[in-house]
Amino acid sequence: MRELGLALERERGTAPEVIAELRTTVASELANVGHDVSHVIVVRYTGNDIVEHSRDSWSHDLVAKVEAEMLADAKVADRAGLDGLDDNAFWQAVGATIPAVPLRLTGRSSSFTPRFNGQTKGVVHTHGGWLAGVTHTMRTVFNANQDDCLYVIGTRAGLRASPI
């Protein structure tokens, strides 16, 4: 929903009060969907009062929990220590915190599933065409370089989650 507010402000110059009202309406409608919504990650953005449900988890609490686990796995005291790790040590800490479990697939790719929900989270391609395309896109569209550290929540088929 944060993206909703930013888009309205950027594209239409919508007043902050109207944006807050629209976001509240979207959140209310989420409560009335016709299917089961079992988990919602809530990001404190405006400071408005909200109705909390048992399905809700605060983003900052989830981030703090994973960060504490990752710091412990990396054997560093704080975020600066984590940022100071070399690439191998950093990815060992990531792998220790959220280990990937390989799934057996046919074809030219392997899929990995993290331990916490069993849904596919990544694909390792065994040919270079797809990776070459992604590399070109990241450099030309996002100006990404090898010093950037990127993390994607989603799959190659589409976005699975986004901040509220």
Shared domain for 93 and 120, answered yes or no, is: no
Picking from 50, 58, 57, the residue whose alpha carbon sits closest to that of residue 27 is 50
Shared domain for 105 and 164, answered yes or no, is: yes
Question: If you write DSSP's letter for every residue of 101-143 in order, what string do you get?
Answer: EEE---SSEEEEEETTT----EEEESSSHHHHHHHHHHHHHH-
Shared domain for 45 and 65, answered yes or no, is: no
Residue 13 sits at φ, ψ, to 5 deg, of 65, 30
Q: Residue 112 has what pLDDT?
A: 55
Distance separating alpha carbons of residues 16 and 94, to the nearest angstrom = 38
Report angle CA 116, 120, 156 to the nearest 5 degrees.
Answer: 135
Locate 39 and state its tokens.
């988990």
Give the residue carrying structure tokens 């807050």: 20
Distance separating alpha carbons of residues 137 and 127, to the nearest angstrom = 17
Shared domain for 46 and 73, answered yes or no, is: no
How many domains is the chain partitioned into structurally? 3
Shared domain for 106 and 161, answered yes or no, is: yes
Q: Residue 3 has what pLDDT?
A: 56
Shared domain for 105 and 145, answered yes or no, is: yes
Shared domain for 153 and 130, answered yes or no, is: yes
Q: Residue 56 has what pLDDT?
A: 87
Instruction: Look up the pTM and report it.
Output: 0.45
Shared domain for 23 and 72, answered yes or no, is: no
Shared domain for 108 and 155, answered yes or no, is: yes
Of the three residues 54, 74, 90, the one that is the final residue of a domain is: 54
Beta bridge partners, 110, equal: 124
Q: Domain containing 110: what range? A: 99-164
Shared domain for 126 and 139, answered yes or no, is: yes
Angle, nearest 10°, between helix axes 87-97 and 59-74? 120
Shared domain for 90 and 119, answered yes or no, is: no
Q: Residue 157 has what pLDDT?
A: 47
Q: Residue 8 has what pLDDT?
A: 61
Shared domain for 64 and 48, answered yes or no, is: no
Q: Residue 106 has what pLDDT?
A: 55
Which residues of the chain fall short of a pLDDT of 70? 1-12, 102-131, 149-164
Q: Residue 76 has what pLDDT?
A: 92
Locate 29 and state its tokens.
């409608």
Of the three residues 71, 98, 125, the one that is the final residue of a domain is: 98
Of the three residues 66, 98, 130, the one that is the final residue of a domain is: 98
